[in-house]
């Protein structure tokens, strides 16, 4: 009975794949939120029958927010695909090193975006 050749790093690759799938789900959620914000804002404007000039101005800002979220989701998807392929290669080459700068940079960027959103809400 022949045993198929298996990588010594199967669990590492599986963890990399789970992380990639989590990023895919997150990017889909971000894009969906962008679309939902646009649609819900249009619904509220129609329900309140806002003056046309005000509606156009408000709608433009909401449209930009929705487009920005969809673009962010696409960038997240592209970045996570690149990261998945890069990590998979470095696992096979046994040269993988965690990217501390990217993780800290991402955390700082999310913190700044969250803080500026909080300020905008007030």
pLDDT digits (tens, 9 = 90+) for 50-107: 555 555 555 667 778 888 899 999 999 999 999 999 999 999 999 999 889 988 998 9
Structure tokens at 38: 């646009």
- 1, 10, 46, 69, 72 from 75: Cα distances, Å: 47, 28, 32, 10, 5
Q: Give every CB contact of residue 84 below 8 A, 6+ residues apart in sequence.
A: 16, 17, 19, 20, 23
Question: What DSSP string runs through 46-65?
Answer: HHHT--HHHHHHHHHHHHHH
Number of neighbours of residue 40 by Cβ within 10 angstroms: 12
Secondary structure letter of residue 16 according to DSSP: H
Indicate the average pLDDT of the chain.
Answer: 84
Q: Inform me whether the pLDDT recorded for 44 exceeds 90.
A: no
Structure tokens at 37: 């914000």
Instruction: State how far the Cα of 86 lies from the Cα of 52, in Å rounded to an integer.
Output: 50
Q: What pLDDT, on a 0 to 100 scale, did the predictor assign at position 111?
A: 92
Q: Inform me whether the pLDDT recorded for 48 exceeds 90.
A: no
Secondary structure letter of residue 4 according to DSSP: P
pTM: 0.75
| Residues 15/61, Cβ–Cβ less than 8 Å | no
Q: What is the mean pLDDT of residues 29-43?
A: 86
């Amino acid at each position: 009975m022949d045993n198929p050749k298996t990588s010594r790093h199967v669990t590492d690759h599986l963890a990399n794949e789970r992380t990639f799938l989590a990023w895919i789900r997150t990017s889909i959620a971000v894009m969906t939120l962008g679309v939902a914000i646009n649609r819900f804002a249009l619904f509220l404007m129609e329900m309140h029958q806002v003056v046309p000039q005000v509606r156009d101005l408000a709608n433009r800002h909401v449209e930009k927010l929705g487009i920005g979220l969809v673009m962010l989701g696409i960038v997240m998807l592209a970045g996570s695909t690149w990261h998945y392929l890069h990590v998979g290669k470095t696992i096979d080459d046994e040269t993988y090193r965690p990217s501390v700068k990217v993780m800290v940079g991402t955390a700082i960027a999310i913190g700044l975006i969250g803080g500026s959103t909080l300020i905008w809400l007030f």
